[in-house]
């Protein structure tokens, strides 16, 4: 009796009598890929001293992690969160918190009080937030080259109610008007200090985090957050650009505004264009919490119409299977066309993390199935590749130097063959050439397994997909 694997291999070589689903890959180009990333808050505050964690997220080695063999994700973008919190009173004024605040979500800030803006004075403490900073260095040492500095809230002493969770009414600004420029000084000073003392040159500074949201509330907030009206965003952007330039940070851009939704980002960006502040920003950042809703294409058109790149700068959801992540990622690539894609909490409970964990208790659990799904994208679609127009269930990228095409595809339907037609390429690979593939099942089952059973037949190849299977293919000797 033939083994199941041998039978599948023979079927793959013979090919289906007719493909269940065929996609014709085109050479339409959607931009150069900058990479994949993560935000360090809050998981790195808890686990910033762990080399195995850094290896799992920032290398492409196979890692033995808590007794599991797991592929390193090879992330190349890090978002570093500059904090707002301090247990040390500022000239007798203490930080205010509420019982709902989760302790691990309070990130230590560097500027302690308003006595001096001189970063070498006693008003600043650069030994704080050591773990998050250590993880940033570990990421750099593993090849990460793109860093962004971002804020969830200004330092507590700049706030009206001194509570970094938000205003008493979440619809109101919490940053005091007379501290607008101090906040700009804070962000610019940390960035310059990082360049001069830490060896980290931030590509961008993002002063906001979901600024139009009304849930940054002092009474019930569980994390740092701050509402900014669009008018205030304009003021802060202009001040921040001036403070950055004063410190010789002309090579660093401002990113904005990390709104929660695609539609919200479009609205904010249009307002920043009208106010003139858009001229001071270099990139539009958006979060993916509208999930399957919202008009991604309109945001893309608004950003590119203003000459700005676009990042999906934060995505997360409590689904450890990877299904929601893949679905929304493909929608992002298809309609929003970001040049980078950043996951929020790599370590967290409730299915949010790619690794289960508790940042408060500093407990690490199992590697979730979502991690192995994400690896199919991050390990193969690499910085510098060209993202191609690839259809509704694929993401495709082209490595011009290596003449290699990468396709990541998902099958949401019943078991079927997927047929890939490369006939529109000037060189569609080589007839009979091996097409290596890697496979992960959404939910449970196969985890990043490599196969060598698929070959080009003329300008086509095909592969059998089970329902909820994600596969990555690498095709060599391809020219657009």
Residue numbers annotated as active site: 210, 314
* Of 288, 258, 266, residue with least CA distance to 153: 258
HSE on the CB side for 323, CA within 13 Å? 11
According to DSSP, the residues that pair with 83 across neighbouring strands are none
d(CA 304, CA 249): 24
d(CA 135, CA 197): 16
Q: Sign of the C-alpha dihedral, residues 317, 322, 324, 330?
A: positive
Q: How far, in whole angstroms, is CA 405 from its chain's centroid?
A: 23
Q: Tokens 């799992």 — which residue? A: 56
Q: How far, in whole angstroms, is CA 235 from its chain's centroid?
A: 27
Q: Is the separation of the CB atoms in 140 and 200 below 8 Å? A: yes
Secondary structure of residue 179 in the 3-state scheme: helix
According to DSSP, the residues that pair with 398 across neighbouring strands are 386, 405
- Angle, CA of 140, 349 and 327, to the nearest 5°: 80
Q: Tokens 């390990």 — which residue? A: 379
- To which H or E segment does residue 43 belong? helix 43-47
Secondary structure of residue 244 in the 3-state scheme: helix
- 291 torsion bin: left (phi>0), alpha (psi -120 to 50), beta (else): left
Count the Cβ atoms, other than its own, within 10 Å of residue 9. Answer: 16
| Separation in Å, CA 324 to CA 286, 320, 328 | 18, 9, 6
* Of 58, 67, 15, 73, residue with least CA distance to 448: 73
Name the DSSP letter for residue 385. Answer: P
Tokens of 102: 């989760």
């Amino acid at each position: 009796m033939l083994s199941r694997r041998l039978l599948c291999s023979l079927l793959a070589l013979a090919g289906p009598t007719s493909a269940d689903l065929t996609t014709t890959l085109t050479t339409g180009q959607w931009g150069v890929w900058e990479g994949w990333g993560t935000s360090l808050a809050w998981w790195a505050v808890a686990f910033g001293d762990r080399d195995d964690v850094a290896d799992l997220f920032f290398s492409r080695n196979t890692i033995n992690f808590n007794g599991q063999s797991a592929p390193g994700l090879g992330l190349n973008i890090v978002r570093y969160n500059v904090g707002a919190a301090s247990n040390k009173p500022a000239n007798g004024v203490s930080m205010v918190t509420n019982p709902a605040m989760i302790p691990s979500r309070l990130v230590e800030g560097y500027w302690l009080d308003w006595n001096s803006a001189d970063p070498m004075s006693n008003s600043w403490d650069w030994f704080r937030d050591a773990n998050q900073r250590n993880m940033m260095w570990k990421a750099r040492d593993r090849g990460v080259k793109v860093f962004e500095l971002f804020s969830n809230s200004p330092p507590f002493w700049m706030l009206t109610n001194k509570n970094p969770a938000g205003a008493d009414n979440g619809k109101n600004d919490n940053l005091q008007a007379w501290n607008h420029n101090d906040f700009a000084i804070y962000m610019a000073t940390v960035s310059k200090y990082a360049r001069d003392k830490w060896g980290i040159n931030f590509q961008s500074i993002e002063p906001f985090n979901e600024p139009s949201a009304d849930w940054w509330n002092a009474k019930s907030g569980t994390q740092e957050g701050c509402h900014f009206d669009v008018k205030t965003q304009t003021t802060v952007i202009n001040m921040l650009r001036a403070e950055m330039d004063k410190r010789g940070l002309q090579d660093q851009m401002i990113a904005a505004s990390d709104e929660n939704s695609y539609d919200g980002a479009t609205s904010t960006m249009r307002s920043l264009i009208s106010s003139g502040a858009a001229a001071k920003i270099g990139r539009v950042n958006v979060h993916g919490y509208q999930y399957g809703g919202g008009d991604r294409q309109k945001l893309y058109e608004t950003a590119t119409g203003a000459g700005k790149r676009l990042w999906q700068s934060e995505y997360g959801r409590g689904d450890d299977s990877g299904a929601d992540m893949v679905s929304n990622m493909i929608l992002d690539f298809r309609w929003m066309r970001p040049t980078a894609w950043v996951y929020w909490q790599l370590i967290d409970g409730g299915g949010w993390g790619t690794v289960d964990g508790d940042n408060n208790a500093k407990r690490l659990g199992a590697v979730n199935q979502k991690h192995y799904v994400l690896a199919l994208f991050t390990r193969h679609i690499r910085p510098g590749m060209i993202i191609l127009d690839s259809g509704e269930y694929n993401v495709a990228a082209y490595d011009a130097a290596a003449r290699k095409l990468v396709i990541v595809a998902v099958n949401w339907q019943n078991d079927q063959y997927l047929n890939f037609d490369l006939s529109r390429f000037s060189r569609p690979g080589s007839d009979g050439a091996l097409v290596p593939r890697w496979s992960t099942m959404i939910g449970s089952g196969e985890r990043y397994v490599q196969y060598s059973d698929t070959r080009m037949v003329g300008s086509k190849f095909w592969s059998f997909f089970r329902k909820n299977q994600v596969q990555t293919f690498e095709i060599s000797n391809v020219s657009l």
